[in-house]
Structure 1
Amino acid sequence: MVVIYGIKEHLNPIKADLSDVIQQSMTQALGLPEDKRAHRFIPLDKSDFYYPSGRSDAYTVIEVNMMEGRQVDTKKALIKALFSHIEAQLGISPVDIEITIKEQPAHCWGFRGMTGDEVADLKYKVNV
């Protein structure tokens, strides 16, 4: 699951395109299928979104939540793909993008009525 935060005046107009870019990056770096899209957008009032100096109102925070198991190089490839694709396709400078990957053990995930460590029919690999 991916959670995206930004100032609503900047985030709302690009939500669909940003979702496409994020999914493209996750497919490229992690091998996720296109239909494995779980993106949550949190548009905020500017008064509710404090960010570091040197950033513009396009500042966007992307939190990637996933089951642990990916290699360091795989996670770094995802981060670099996000920076590159977002800048190329949406014109948002990497200085205005913050990415955090949060990993949890598979047994801490629950979906389709079971825990992540019980699932045997994923259409993608976690240990890449």
Structure 2
Amino acid sequence: MPLVRIDLARGKTEHYRQTVGDVVYEAMIATLNVPADDRFQIIAEHSPIDFIVDQNYLGIKRTDDVIVIQVTLNAGRSVDLKRAFYKAVADGLHQRLDLRREDVFINLVETAKENWSFGNGEAQYA
């Protein structure tokens, strides 16, 4: 049950935001073995003063169109699966929205299964 937070600069269309969510979800299914119907996403827009991303860190030239994607998920996926996910998201956003691959920032946060409650005040995976 990944929980996805997608943060971007204010001013993108509803279609743009929906497509970003679709690309991330499709990439999770294709590369991270996430089951269908396991979609939990929070997409938030920010003003420039509240959305600070270094435009040159590690020699990667980012623009104001940068998107920050953070996925919290169960621990245990291999580095190869993670790399495939990063590539699938960057390629998908480039193909479908013409977003530069340099403007796709992804962070995975791994957690133990007992750290989830899907409702009812229960730890369903514990």
**How does the TM-score come out when normalised to structure 2?**
0.84
Task: Give the residue type in structure 1 aligned to 2:87.
Answer: K
Task: Say whether 1:111 aligns with 2:118.
Answer: yes
In structure 2, runs of 5+ residues without a counterpart are: 56-60
In structure 1, what residue type is equivalent to 2:50?
A: D
What amino acid does structure 1 have at the position aligned with 2:49? S
Provide, for residues 14-61 of structure 1, a one-character-per-residue CA deviation record: whole Å limited to 9, x for no partner. Answer: 111111111111110023233111110111011211121232121110
Residue type matched to 1:115 in 2? A
Question: Deviation of residue 13 (structure 1)?
Answer: 4.8
Please state whether the residue corresponding to 2:62 is helix, strand or coil. Answer: coil
Please list, as runs of the form range in 1=range in 2, the aligned pairs for 1:32-111 lying within 5 A after superposition.
32-53=34-55, 54-111=61-118
Work out the number of aligned pairs and report it.
118
Could you say what secondary structure the match of 1:5 adopts?
strand
Q: Percent identity, please.
A: 25
Q: Are the aligned partners of 1:106 and 1:117 in contact in 2 as well (CA < 8 Å)? A: yes
Assess if the C-alpha contact under 8 Å between 1:10 and 1:58 holds in 2: no
Aligned partner (choices 13, 16, 39) of residue 14 of structure 1: 16
Amino acid at match of 2:85: L
Shift of the 70–116 alpha-carbon distance from structure 1 to 2, 3 Å rule, reads farther
**Per-residue deviation, 1:116:** 5.0
Q: Show the counterpart of 2:58.
A: none
Q: Which amino acid aligns with 2:101?
A: P
Report deviation, 1:98: 0.4
Work out whether residues 7 and 49 of structure 1, in 8 Å CA contact, stay in contact via their aligned partners in 2: yes
Q: Any gaps of 5 or more consecutive residues in structure 1?
A: 119-128
What value does the CA root-mean-square deviation take over the aligned residues?
1.7
